[in-house]
Amino acid sequence: MSYSTLPESQRAWTFSSWGLPREILALNLSYAVPPPPVRADLLIRVSHVSLNPGCYLAMAAIPPLVRRLVSGNTTYVPEGEFAGVVHLAGPAAPAHLQPGVRVFGCLPVPKLVAGAGTLAEYFIIPAESVALVPPAMGWAEAAGLAGGGQTAINMLRETTLRAGTRVLVNGASGGVGTMVVQLAKSQGAYVVATCSGANTALVRSLGADEVVDYRANAPLPAHLAKTYGAQPFAYILDCVGTQALFVHSPGYLAPDGLLVNVGNFEGAGITIWRAMLNTYLPCIFGGVPRRYAMISTTPNGEKAAGLARMVEEGQLRVVVDEVFEFEDALKAYDRMIARNAKGKIVVKVQDV
Ligand SMILES: NC(=O)c1ccc[n+]([C@@H]2O[C@H](COP(=O)([O-])OP(=O)(O)OC[C@H]3O[C@@H](n4cnc5c(N)ncnc54)[C@H](OP(=O)(O)O)[C@@H]3O)[C@@H](O)[C@H]2O)c1
């Protein structure tokens, strides 16, 4: 297809209400293609999309009225991570982001809320949110780089790692955890990582110095206190949101240590409530005598470019759990909801 032409309609997964993917998502074969981009926006022809647990949770949590107020639309496309080709570039787009160039990235949060997502053949994104795909990188891997990678960067920005700094990574085999292990290792940390037994070899291959099977060693806090109490961690990087890990952390987290959490696997609402208590409740009222930080991802092209550089230098790789065909996106969501992915779950949208 020529870069100057656009089809009138496209295939896209869309929804108009709220609920779980199988309840509300449908494959729309005649969804409108966005108009040509303005300013420094890019119209992307999507190759692959990787799923993010936050996106399906948002599908169930954000009322359609809110999406409508934000976007003015009544039909929405989910997801934010992608790899694809610039199809049209707005007049103010930078010279290196012109039609034909391979890019990857992650939509800014307001676009996610507006439901102008990536699980479609075409979508619009600001040029400042993308970076060039490293030449040797495959499409599926590129689609999985931005979300988990930028979340991992934000987690590590809360830390000061030196050679040998002792770090525990909880949930090391998922989309975020696989990135956190590699980034912490690249900064010289001594990494102890948790995952289930079946993922031990994978997590070791990412550089973890020790791997703890959290199922075989349940309850995990008691095992950590026994094994690491004498040599406590400086940081716990939690990619699951295991509250017990923080509650019992004085047994294995140094007195001036910090737990950084991004996960909400124990429930989104309860995680936010606990995060406030974990952060602010004074010890005299029952607070845990350790520091806690709940952080969120603020994706941008600069961070994405940093990740791409690390891939090119051989310091970082994306673990892809499985690639699903576009028509099978609901199966991909089933896999995501099961919460035992090894790395990123990816949907192939089309050949580009
Ligand atoms: N705040 C943000 O900006 C942000 C951004 C991205 C993601 N997140 C959140 O971060 C969390 C992780 O995201 P993700 O993309 O990494 O999810 P994911 O890829 O779906 O995570 C699946 C992984 O979690 C592991 N896991 C599940 N329960 C575990 C437990 N109790 N202990 C240790 N590992 C466990 C599984 O390991 P096993 O199969 O070995 O059990 C599996 O490898 C989610 O809650 C997501 O919403 C937040």
**Is 155 buried (19+), middle (13-18) or exposed (0-12) by CB count in 10 A?**
buried
Report pLDDT for 8.
Answer: 87
Phi, psi dihedrals of residue 341, rounded to the nearest 5°: -65, 145
How far is ligand 1, taken at its centre, from the CA of residue 239, in Å? 5
Q: In the block, which residue shows the tokens 């845990």?
A: 288
Residue 165: Cβ within 10 Å count: 17
Digit-coded pLDDT (tens) for 90-142: 999 999 999 999 999 999 999 999 999 999 999 999 999 999 999 999 999 99
Whether the link from the prior residue into 221 is cis, omega within 30° of 0, is no
For the chain, which residues make up each domain, given as ranges? 9-146+300-348, 159-294
Report pLDDT for 97.
Answer: 96
How far is ligand 1, taken at its centre, from the CA of residue 9, in Å? 35
Q: Are 262 and 148 in contact (CB under 8 A)?
A: no
User: Maximum CA pair distance of the chain?
Assistant: 67
Report pLDDT for 2.
Answer: 66
How far is ligand 1, taken at its centre, from the CA of residue 13, in Å? 24
How far is ligand 1, taken at its centre, from the CA of residue 263, in Å? 6
Mutate to test the pocket of ligand 1, among 168, 176, 212, 321 (most ligand atoms within 8 A of CB): 176
How far is ligand 1, taken at its centre, from the CA of residue 103, in Å? 25
Residues of the chain with pLDDT under 70: 1-2
How far is ligand 1, taken at its centre, from the CA of residue 88, in Å? 35
Name the CA radius of gyration of the chain, rounded.
21
Give, using CA atoms, the residue closest to atom 21 of ligand 1.
Answer: 174
Phi, psi dihedrals of residue 88, rounded to the nearest 5°: -140, 145
How far is ligand 1, taken at its centre, from the CA of residue 339, in Å? 7
Report pLDDT for 1.
Answer: 63
How far is ligand 1, taken at its centre, from the CA of residue 175, in Å? 7
- As a whole number of angstroms, the distance between CA 141 and CA 161 comes to 27
211 to 214, 237, 289, 339: CA distances (angstroms):
9, 14, 26, 19
Give, using CA atoms, the residue closest to atom 34 of ligand 1.
Answer: 171
* Ligand 1 pocket list (CB less than 6 A): 52-54, 147-148, 151, 170-171, 173-177, 194-196, 199, 214, 239-242, 262-265, 296-297, 336, 339-342
**DSSP letter (8 states) at residue 214:** T
- As a whole number of angstroms, the distance between CA 310 and CA 153 comes to 12
Task: Specify whether domain 9-146+300-348 bears CATH 3.50.50.60.
Answer: no
Nearest atom in ligand 1 to the alpha carbon of residue 242 is 31
List own/partner pairs for 133-139 with CB under 8 A and 24 or more apart.
133/83, 133/102, 133/103, 133/104, 133/308, 134/308, 134/311, 134/312, 135/312, 136/312, 137/308, 137/311, 139/47, 139/48, 139/83, 139/348, 139/352
What is the token pair recorded at 171?
């949930």
Give, using CA atoms, the residue closest to atom 20 of ligand 1.
Answer: 339
Nearest atom in ligand 1 to the alpha carbon of residue 147 is 6
Task: Specify whether domain 159-294 bears CATH 3.40.50.720.
Answer: yes
- As a whole number of angstroms, the distance between CA 2 and CA 99 comes to 10
CA angle 227, 232, 233 (to 5 degrees): 110
